[in-house]
Structure formats: structure tokens, C-alpha cells
């Protein structure tokens, strides 16, 4: 295989991006655990690149002759074939050609579009997603399922050859017509010189027709044009295909990773916020001195913000956290005067003459405190998720949006339920 310098550059780049992905310290262990399978995939991909291996896979409907085609290319029956559909049950790899700079491997896959074969189809799609070059095998004009699958693969930028197998069953004229139809249907998806006819396991000499009633006699396979085209591709762009494929794979995984990391951080952050909400709700409800209430409340909120900053890997000091809480609470007070007022009024009532405090109970006051910490938590989380920023619109716009989107009553109900147990526990 010729190793062009462009191919080598691509290889080096792909290797680097795969290694970065594996070693990225920002990925929480939990996320790594969830994506174990994908990580194994990246490791295999890296291993493959380092050994200069190129993977060619077959893909297609059940029974179109995928396994037969690989056997014909290999020149021996290494894969099991059968007239019954669903013969190949797992994706299996075999060595095709060994060479100094690496080797080419052939991968057989289960057929798609088999009734009850969803798991096998998923395995086939996964193998296709990882192969460097795909032979999409068909035996006639494309079915709707085949067109869909072909589109998906082309969209995912998988390099494709369309292989029309079993041409021994067609006359020359039928074969030409079929090729025209295939070219028409795959226009824009597959280049015309990448549509190739073969007879992987012919019943009669290619070009002749099977005679009814006669037992099939062994006839030599005809896959030479496909072999030539494959070698042509491998020699000119094999390494580049492998490198680009690995980079694409790495790109897809980093996208998934990014989404999972955000989700995981969100989940953790919401758990932290709820814990602090309860802590503050309880503190405010059981502490009868309103000035101390507010001081304690601010301390609890600042503690929560410090905690959240660590989840997002943007650590803050307590003092910084205190300033952030002040910004949030100021905006909140301006935007939701009434609820904030209730909080203050009830604090005042608690200090004031005994009889009045029955109207607004300590529990209600705790719930309001819970609610305000909840809002502070949502705002702080938003601030960290945006990389310690309020964005162009500033904190007021963010606060307005948060207050708009939160269902106040359901949070207050949640507060009441969360606090009930803690308060009766604390008092009893």
C-alpha cells in the first residue's frame, strides 16, 4: 500500500484526537462508566490506527450474499452461508491481506430487515459505523428499506461501494437495465464507478440463465472487478479513509460525551440545590430570630454556590459566592416583590406579638426560604453552565427568564413535602 504523506498527516491527527478523547480529565467517572462501550470502541479504533489496519465491511439485507461475497474475495469458504435468511448472526472479522505497513480486514455482518432480527441489525449498523469502507450488497433493484439504509450511511459520511450480487440470475440486458436504475436511484449518494456487479456464488456461468429443474453445479465466482476497484481505493486512499473514519468516530463520541457530561452535571447540581433548599427551609422555620434568619439564609446560599461551582469545575471562594448571591437576590427582590415581601413580613411577624404569628406559620416561612434558595440555585447553575457568565443580556434578563419558567406553586408544594418530615423530626 502506498503511504502518502497526506494519509500520514491524517493518521497522526486522528490518533491525537482519539488519545485526547480517552485522556480527557474533565469527563466524570460516572459518565465514563455509562459510555464504557463507546470508550472501548475508541480504544479499538486507536489500536487499529496504530497497527495500520483498514477494515472493509459488507452491509445489506438478509440473504443477498454478503458472506458469499467475502468468501469469494478471500478465495475460501471462511464465512458460513445459507439459502435461509439470518445465517450470519454476529459481526465477524477476518484477515484478508497482510502487509508490512499493516493489513486489510474483512468484516461480515448480519443482514438488515429481517423479521425479529432487530438485535442483529443493530450489530450490523454498529459494525458499519466503524468500518473504513463499506460494500453495500444488493441482489436486485433497491427496496425502500435499502434506500433508507443507504441514505443513513451516506449521511453519516460512510465511504460506500454498491455491489449488485447474483448477476448470474440476469441476462446481460436485464443487468444493464438494473445498473441504470441503481445509478439513477443512488445519484448524489454513490459515484457511478462505485457501483459494481458480481456473482459471489453463481448457479450457472455468469451471463447464462439457470435452467429450471437442474441441480446447481459449482461455477466459479466472478468478483474480479470488485477486487480491482477495492485495491485501487485501498492503495490511493486506504490510510486516509481509516484516519478520517477514526476522526469522525471520535467527533461523534465527543458530541455524545459533551451532552452526557452536561446532563450529569445538571443532575448533580439539582441534587445539591435540593439539599440546600431543605437545609435553609428548616433553618429558617426553626430559628425564631428574623435577622439571624436572613444572615443564616445568605450563608446557606453562599455555601450552595461554592458547592455548585465545584460541580462545574469553576471553583469559587466563599466571598465570591457571597457576591454572586447578592447579585441574584437583588434581581430576585426587584422582580418578585410580593413573594419576597411575604418572606419579610412573616419574619417580622415571628418577632412580633405572639398571636399574629399563627397566621403565617413557621412552616410557610420555611417554604418561602426554600423557594428563594431554589431560585438562587437555578440562577447560579445557569451562570456556571454558561462558563461563569450571565451572557450578553445580563443577570436581570436571566433572572426574569428563570422566574417566568418556574412553576411557583409546584416548588412551594415540593418545599412543604420536603420540609414536613424534617420539621416534625426536628421538633419531635
Ligand X SMILES: Nc1nc2c(ncn2[C@@H]2O[C@H](COP(=O)(O)OP(=O)(O)OP(=O)(O)O)[C@@H](O)[C@H]2O)c(=O)[nH]1
Taking the complex as a whole, how short is the minimal distance between the CB of residue 94 and Mg ion, in angstroms? 13
Taking the complex as a whole, how short is the minimal distance between the CB of residue 130 and ligand X, in angstroms? 19
**Residue 146 interacts with, from Mg ion, ligand X, none (CB under 5-8 Å by kind):** none
Which CB atom, from 198 or from 402, has the smaller least distance to Mg ion?
Answer: 198
Smallest CA-to-CA distance from 126 within 145, 113, 107, 143 is with 107
Taking the complex as a whole, how short is the minimal distance between the CB of residue 216 and ligand X, in angstroms? 8
Taking the complex as a whole, how short is the minimal distance between the CB of residue 31 and ligand X, in angstroms? 36
Taking the complex as a whole, how short is the minimal distance between the CB of residue 182 and ligand X, in angstroms? 16
Which parts of this chain interact with ligand X (CB under 6 A)?
62-68, 81-83, 85-88, 110-111, 165-166, 168-169, 199-203
Packing angle of the helix pair 290-311, 337-351 (nearest 10 deg) = 130
**Residue 168 interacts with, from Mg ion, ligand X, none (CB under 5-8 Å by kind):** ligand X
**Residue 64 interacts with, from Mg ion, ligand X, none (CB under 5-8 Å by kind):** ligand X
**Residue 68 interacts with, from ligand X, Mg ion, none (CB under 5-8 Å by kind):** ligand X
Taking the complex as a whole, how short is the minimal distance between the CB of residue 166 and ligand X, in angstroms? 4
Among residue numbers 88 through 127, which ones bind Mg ion (CB under 5 A)?
Answer: 88
**Residue 85 interacts with, from Mg ion, ligand X, none (CB under 5-8 Å by kind):** ligand X
Which CB atom, from 89 or from 271, has the smaller least distance to ligand X?
Answer: 89
Which CB atom, from 165 or from 309, has the smaller least distance to Mg ion?
Answer: 165
> How many whole angstroms separate alpha carbon 61 and alpha carbon 199?
16
* C-beta of residue 80 within 8 angstroms of C-beta of residue 67: yes
Which CB atom, from 138 or from 311, has the smaller least distance to Mg ion?
Answer: 138
Signed CA dihedral, 41, 44, 49, 53: sign only: negative
Which CB atom, from 124 or from 305, has the smaller least distance to Mg ion?
Answer: 124
SS (H, E, C) 320-335: HHHHHHHHHHHHHHHH
Among residue numbers 55 through 94, which ones bind Mg ion (CB under 5 A)?
Answer: 66-67, 87-88
Among residue numbers 160 through 199, which ones bind Mg ion (CB under 5 A)?
Answer: none
Which CB atom, from 106 or from 325, has the smaller least distance to ligand X?
Answer: 106
Taking the complex as a whole, how short is the minimal distance between the CB of residue 108 and Mg ion, in angstroms? 6
**Residue 203 interacts with, from ligand X, Mg ion, none (CB under 5-8 Å by kind):** ligand X
Which residue carries 459518565 as its cell? 31
How many residues bind Mg ion (CB under 5 A)? The answer is 4
**Residue 32 interacts with, from Mg ion, ligand X, none (CB under 5-8 Å by kind):** none
Which CB atom, from 7 or from 110, has the smaller least distance to ligand X?
Answer: 110
Quickly count: other Cβ atoms within 10 Å of residue 365's Cβ.
24
**Residue 396 interacts with, from ligand X, Mg ion, none (CB under 5-8 Å by kind):** none
Q: Which residues contact 153 (CB under 8 A, 6 or more apart)?
A: 59, 128, 134, 136, 160
Residue with the CB atom nearest ligand X in the bound state? 111
Which CB atom, from 107 or from 242, has the smaller least distance to Mg ion?
Answer: 107
Which CB atom, from 168 or from 237, has the smaller least distance to ligand X?
Answer: 168
Taking the complex as a whole, how short is the minimal distance between the CB of residue 95 and ligand X, in angstroms? 19
**Residue 200 interacts with, from Mg ion, ligand X, none (CB under 5-8 Å by kind):** ligand X
**Residue 347 interacts with, from Mg ion, ligand X, none (CB under 5-8 Å by kind):** none
Which CB atom, from 64 or from 398, has the smaller least distance to ligand X?
Answer: 64
Taking the complex as a whole, how short is the minimal distance between the CB of residue 120 and ligand X, in angstroms? 8
What is the grid cell recorded at 310? 465545584
Binding site for Mg ion (CB under 5 A): 66-67, 87-88
Amino acid at each position: 500500500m502506498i503511504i502518502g504523506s497526506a494519509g500520514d498527516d491524517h493518521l497522526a491527527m486522528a490518533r491525537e484526537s482519539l488519545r485526547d478523547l480517552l485522556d480527557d480529565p474533565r469527563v466524570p467517572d460516572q459518565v465514563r462508566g455509562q459510555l464504557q462501550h463507546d470508550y472501548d470502541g475508541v480504544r479499538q479504533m486507536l489500536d487499529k490506527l496504530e497497527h495500520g489496519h483498514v477494515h472493509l465491511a459488507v452491509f445489506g439485507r438478509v440473504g443477498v450474499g454478503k458472506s458469499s461475497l467475502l468468501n469469494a474475495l478471500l478465495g475460501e469458504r471462511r464465512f458460513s452461508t445459507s439459502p435461509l435468511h439470518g445465517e450470519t448472526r454476529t459481526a465477524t472479522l477476518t484477515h484478508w491481506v497482510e502487509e508490512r505497513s499493516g493489513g486489510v480486514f474483512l468484516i461480515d455482518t448480519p443482514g438488515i430487515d429481517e423479521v425479529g432480527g432487530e438485535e442483529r441489525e443493530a450489530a450490523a449498523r454498529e459494525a458499519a459505523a466503524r468500518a473504513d469502507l463499506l460494500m453495500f450488497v444488493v441482489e436486485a433493484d433497491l427496496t425502500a428499506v435499502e434506500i433508507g439504509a443507504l441514505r443513513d450511511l451516506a449521511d453519516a459520511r460512510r465511504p460506500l461501494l454498491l455491489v449488485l450480487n447474483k448477476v448470474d440470475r440476469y441476462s446481460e440486458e436485464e443487468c444493464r437495465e438494473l445498473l441504470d436504475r441503481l445509478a439513477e436511484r443512488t445519484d448524489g449518494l454513490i459515484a457511478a464507478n462505485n457501483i459494481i456487479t458480481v456473482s459471489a456464488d453463481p448457479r450457472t456461468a455468469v451471463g447464462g440463465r439457470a435452467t429450471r429443474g437442474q441441480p446447481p453445479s459449482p461455477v466459479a465466482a466472478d468478483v474480479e472487478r470488485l477486487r480491482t476497484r477495492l485495491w485501487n481505493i485501498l492503495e490511493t486512499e486506504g490510510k486516509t479513509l481509516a484516519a478520517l473514519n477514526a476522526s469522525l468516530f471520535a467527533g461523534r463520541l465527543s458530541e455524545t460525551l459533551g451532552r452526557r457530561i452536561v446532563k450529569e452535571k445538571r443532575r448533580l447540581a439539582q441534587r445539591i440545590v435540593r439539599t440546600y433548599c431543605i437545609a435553609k427551609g428548616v433553618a429558617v422555620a426553626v430559628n425564631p430570630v428574623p435577622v439571624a434568619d436572613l444572615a443564616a439564609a445568605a450563608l446557606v446560599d453562599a455555601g450552595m454556590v461554592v458547592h455548585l461551582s465545584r460541580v462545574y469545575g469553576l471553583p469559587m471562594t466563599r466571598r465570591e459566592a457571597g457576591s454572586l448571591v447578592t447579585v441574584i437576590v437583588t434581581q430576585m427582590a426587584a422582580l418578585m416583590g410580593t413573594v419576597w415581601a411575604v418572606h419579610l413580613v412573616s419574619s417580622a411577624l415571628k418577632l412580633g406579638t405572639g398571636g399574629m404569628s399563627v397566621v403565617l406559620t413557621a412552616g410557610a416561612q420555611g417554604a418561602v426560604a426554600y423557594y428563594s434558595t431554589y431560585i438562587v440555585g437555578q440562577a447560579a447553575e445557569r451562570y456556571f453552565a454558561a462558563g461563569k457568565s450571565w451572557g450578553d443580556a445580563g443577570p436581570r434578563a436571566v433572572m426574569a427568564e428563570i422566574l417566568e419558567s418556574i412553576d411557583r406553586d409546584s416548588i412551594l408544594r415540593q418545599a412543604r413535602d420536603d420540609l414536613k418530615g424534617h420539621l416534625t423530626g426536628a421538633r419531635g
